[in-house]
Copies of this chain bind each other. A is one copy, B any other.
Amino acid sequence: MIIITRPDATEEQIEHIVARIRFWGLKAEVSRGAMRVVIGVIGPEDKIREKPLGAFPGVESVTPVLKPYKLVAYEFRGTASQVKIGGIGVGGKELVLMAGPCSVESEDQITTIARAVREAGAKILRGGAFKPRTSPYSFQGLGKLGLQLLATARKETGMPIITEVMDTKDLELVAEYADCLQIGARNMQNFSLLREVGRLNVPVMLKRGMSATIKDLLMSAEYILAEGNFNVLLCERGIRTFETMSRNTLDLNAVPILKSETHLPIVVDPTHGIGIRQHIPSMALAAVAAGADSIMMEVHNAPEQAKSDGEQALLPNDFRDVVERMRAVAKAVGREM
């Protein structure tokens, strides 16, 4: 930690800070400039970070030297990690497609879509059984029945399934069915839920919150790894900005930054990211070029009848078309698909 004092900090205040640092068993290196005093605090960064250094009179700012995340940091592994979802490795040379409807609606709907996306090249089936909806009056998902229908579709197609868990009390149930648990953007800082999925041995895809910084996302993932579950994927799905012509602002800048900050695989969800059906293919291609390890997209065979997010679902034909184009881009950037 580096403490920079205010220009009007008194000698007494500076001495008080130094005394406290030493009292905690840490080392203080004082460097006096013309205008301000800089105090370097040396010792175990974890121990230092707990201390409310900014609360001391005379302090202007406190800058950490080390990053607050450890287990998720790239340096922890020194190489990219691969996470296996039902036998499909995400994070290696292969670019993995996840696709399916927003919500599971019926057996016919989910199996029809599952077959269509598998044929087009998708490897993992997505579908929501528990749906976080802004309005209490919107369709909230089929719950347990939705999970059973996903299992049926898995049996039919052989595709592993990813589905969202919204609450600790549903976790056991969802984990019984899912090959990968999804933690949604709105729950990215539901720390109780993070801790509990951290105690399971199931892959977890953690979506970035709408106003979460990249650092926040990494800290939330750290919660899961700290409990012992290293099978974590991070998903960029759009942040909230002032722009209103896109539903969210898919932040592809996060892809190269995350790839250099963490060893965890990166998924991009262009469907929620831009949220406009006709523009999703462009963003999917861009995500591949930016270096994503996996792309997740929503596909529906009858968007006009969808119970949620019909506006942004691709038709199976459109999906097939964009997968072909993604394949070409993947090859151009040295990925297989």
Q: Is the CB of A243 within 8 A of B239?
A: yes
Docked complex Cα distance between A250 and B289 (Å): 15
Name the contact of A134 in the complex, choosing from B40, B216, B244 (C-beta under 8 A).
B216
The interface residues of chain B lying within 8 Å CB-to-CB of A75 are 7-8
Min distance, Cβ A135 to any Cβ of chain B, angstroms: 6
Name the contact of A260 in the complex, choosing from B278, B283, B289 (C-beta under 8 A).
B278
Minimum CB distance partner of A192 in chain B: B167
Given A243-B214, A253-B283, A331-B332, CB of A40 within 8 Å of CB of B49? no
The interface residues of chain B lying within 8 Å CB-to-CB of A54 are 310-311
Identical copies of this chain, number: 4
Minimum CB distance partner of A258 in chain B: B245
Given A256-B283, A311-B54, CB of A169 within 8 Å of CB of B169? yes
Q: Is the CB of B245 within 8 A of A249?
A: no
Docked complex Cα distance between A172 and B261 (Å): 40
Q: Is the CB of B279 within 8 A of A257?
A: yes
Docked complex Cα distance between A303 and B20 (Å): 13
Minimum CB distance partner of A284 in chain B: B289
A255 on the B face (CB < 8 A):
yes
Q: Kindly specify which of A87-95, A107-115, A219-227 makes contact with the partner chain.
A: A219-227
Minimum CB distance partner of A313 in chain B: B55
A168 on the B face (CB < 8 A):
yes
Interface of chain A residues 43 through 66 with chain B (CB within 8 A): 46, 49-50, 52, 54-56, 63, 65-66
A336 on the B face (CB < 8 A):
no
The interface residues of chain B lying within 8 Å CB-to-CB of A139 are 50
Minimum CB distance partner of A261 in chain B: B245
The interface residues of chain B lying within 8 Å CB-to-CB of A116 are none
Min distance, Cβ A274 to any Cβ of chain B, angstroms: 5
Q: Is the CB of A52 within 8 A of B304?
A: yes
Q: Is the CB of B52 within 8 A of A244?
A: no
Docked complex Cα distance between A261 and B256 (Å): 29
Docked complex Cα distance between A261 and B276 (Å): 13
Docked complex Cα distance between A226 and B136 (Å): 7
A199 on the B face (CB < 8 A):
no
Given A55-B304, A211-B209, A244-B213, CB of A329 within 8 Å of CB of B325? no
List, sorted by A's number, 29 A–B pairs whose CB atoms are closer than 8 Å.
A2-B63, A7-B75, A36-B66, A54-B310, A63-B63, A132-B189, A134-B189, A134-B216, A136-B219, A137-B226, A167-B168, A186-B190, A211-B239, A213-B244, A213-B245, A215-B244, A239-B241, A239-B243, A239-B249, A241-B251, A244-B244, A249-B249, A252-B252, A255-B282, A256-B282, A257-B274, A257-B276, A260-B279, A289-B290
4 nearest CB pairs, A to B = A211-B211, A52-B310, A167-B192, A55-B310
